[in-house]
Amino acid sequence: GENVEQHPSTLSVQEGDSAVIKCTYSDSASNYFPWYKQELGKGPQLIIDIRSNVGEKKDQRIAVTLNKTAKHFSLHITETQPEDSAVYFCAASITTGANNLFFGTGTRLTVIP
Amino acid sequence: DAGVIQSPRHEVTEMGQEVTLRCKPISGHNSLFWYRQTMMRGLELLIYFNNNVPIDDSGMPEDRFSAKMPNASFSTLKIQPSEPRDSAVYFCASSPLSLSIGELFFGEGSRLTVL
């Protein structure tokens, strides 16, 4: 099955700086890569996703890049704010014929005011 | 919409007791998932249903775990008998897509502590 590795496990940045979280995956058939944000006491919530037919996707201060050859994808958060503090999970999946997201182990991001 | 609703939010029980966790998915969503989250293993898929039918239960750790979805608006995850190693946060999630993966909408979780 798919194996998703995520780094770093913890990340602290100053408010206004950028944060980058990286993930690698093992199954070359994976073609859907979402990122979820989990705030304290809540369930994970989708913040952005990318499919394998594009290399980059942006939504305001967050962006995701995908390198299918190297089998890695990254989340970039610019101009970080204290409310960005949370645990972020990457995931990978095959979109058809399967209905299972394989999650990374999570990155705890702390934005220091 | 109220989102995915889980109950109880917190459960403390003693080893050997039966535990039942409940989930109400978002109306109209065809797929329902049960995940377990621990520090050691992260988010693990236990089982998922499509149109109320269990599709893949390979993630269920052992026979002590069982899940049902008697109708489109309700699912249960039961642990009998419970053990301390079952302590975790259990999430239910639903998705509007049946045959392809898409956004999962998670509930707020049920935190289980087995003493």
**In which band, very low, low, confident or very high, does the pLDDT at B101 lie, cut at 50, 70 and 90?**
low
Region A36-55: mean pLDDT is 91
Q: Coil, strand or helix: which one is A84?
A: helix
Query: What H or E segment, with its residue span, contains residue B66?
Result: strand B65-71
Mean pLDDT of chain B: 92
pLDDT for A97 beyond 60? no
pLDDT of residue B56: 86
- The neighbouring-strand residues paired with B13 are B114
> Between A and B, how many CB-CB pairs are < 8 A?
54
Least confident of A93-97, B13-17, B30-34: A93-97
pLDDT for A1 beyond 80? no
* Burial grade of B27 (CB within 10 A; 0-12, 13-18, 19 or more): exposed
Given B4, B56, B101, which is nearest A101 (Cβ)? B101
Question: Is the minimum CB–CB distance between B25 and chain A shorter than 8 Å?
Answer: no
Determine the residue among A23, A96, A99 to mutate to test chain B binding: the one whose Cβ has the most chain B Cβ atoms within 10 Å.
A99
Region B29-57: mean pLDDT is 91
Separation CA A82–CA A8 (nearest Å): 19
Region B74-91: mean pLDDT is 97
- The neighbouring-strand residues paired with B78 are B20, B66
Region B11-37: mean pLDDT is 95
Please give, rounded to a whole number of angstroms, the shortest distance from the CA of B70 to a CA of chain A: 20
Given A94, A100, A106, which is nearest B45 (Cβ)? A100
Judging contacts by C-beta atoms under 8 Å, the chain A residues touching residue B91 are 43-44
Separation CA A36–CA A49 (nearest Å): 9
* DSSP-derived secondary structure for A13-64: EETTS-EEEEEEES-TT--EEEEEEE-TTS--EEEEEEETT-SEEEETTEEE
Percent of chain A past pLDDT 70, that is, above it, reads 96
pLDDT of residue B42: 87
Judging contacts by C-beta atoms under 8 Å, the chain A residues touching residue B101 are 32, 93-95, 98-101
Task: Quote the longest CA-to-CA distance of chain A.
Answer: 45
Judging contacts by C-beta atoms under 8 Å, the chain A residues touching residue B99 are 96-97, 99
pLDDT for B100 beyond 70? no
Question: Is the minimum CB–CB distance between A94 and chain B shorter than 8 Å?
Answer: yes
